[in-house]
Structure 1
Amino acid sequence: MTLSILVLTLVTLQRLGELVLAHRNTARLKARGAEEVGAGHYPVVVAMHAAWLAGLWLLAWDKPAQVGWLLVFLVLQALRIWVIASLGERWTTRIIILPDAPLVRRGPYRHLSHPNYVVVVGEIAVLPLAFGLPEFAVLFTILNAIVLTIRIRAEAQALRGAPM
């Protein structure tokens, strides 16, 4: 197995595992009275991420991986784990608001409002660059910026009423 196939396989498995975790956390939060906000744009988020990963499989499976960019991607994965661990049961891929729950202020959330989105922006650009696909990185960075603009607005509006 080449390094490129190994990396793409691991990223795919990671994303699938995160979807399982997100689904579980969403169900638990909803059972506690949480409500989803901005569900209308969620299929676009999923489609964009699926297209990014499918495009990488199509274009990068046989390309040599550039170790420097892969190391940057590994750092981003460590940050991703920190984000997920900091949110704990409140981490999900959807915008789920738990009434009367204070905003999370630990981990990277002490420093940034949206650290997960910072990580995602980095991942969307860095992994294609690791495979020598700068045009792909630019295209999906632009698509991701459009999606995140919609998502962050919806999330910010939903969180305005959250207790501090």
Structure 2
Amino acid sequence: MTLRRPFDDSDELVLHRLFFALIPSAEAVEEIARVRGGLGVAKSHVLDHRLHMTLWALDLPMTPTPGIIDDLCAAAAKVSAPALRLVLREAVGNGQVACLKPGEPMPVLKAFQQKLQLAIADAGIWPNRGFRFDPHVTLAYGQDEGFRREVLPISWRAGEFVLIHSLVGLTEHVPLGRWALGA
């Protein structure tokens, strides 16, 4: 099934995105929201329930088949790792997107992401062409100017990762699976 955007005068197709992500804790979401609130005017802000850190992404022109979802879930189930401590220390904007970033390397997070990506590749599925893991949480789109500034560290313990089906442009995220990370 192919969806179209809900505008009467548009033939633009809805893009389907499958992505693995880490979701901030409720406490971290509150802190992230405070930073987002201080950004000023933007075309759109990411709502609290859609805040996440993308680990891997695949865009599809039509609704994903059950087969690809099953394969992604099976690959994710093969990945074991300890819970992750994530710390975001800087707000960065480039005039198009504003986000929070760690501000320093996070080798344990990078190792986990590579482990997940390899498990998915073993299933014969590759991410979007040009996908490069760049740890961040997107806050807003469409600001007029760029910036980079330190923020009080925002930290949370990621005890699971999730597979989400996003209808890009319709701001809809549908969780498809969750996998626990060890203690």
Same fold (TM over 0.5): no
TM-score, structure 1 length as denominator?
0.35
TM-score, structure 2 length as denominator?
0.32
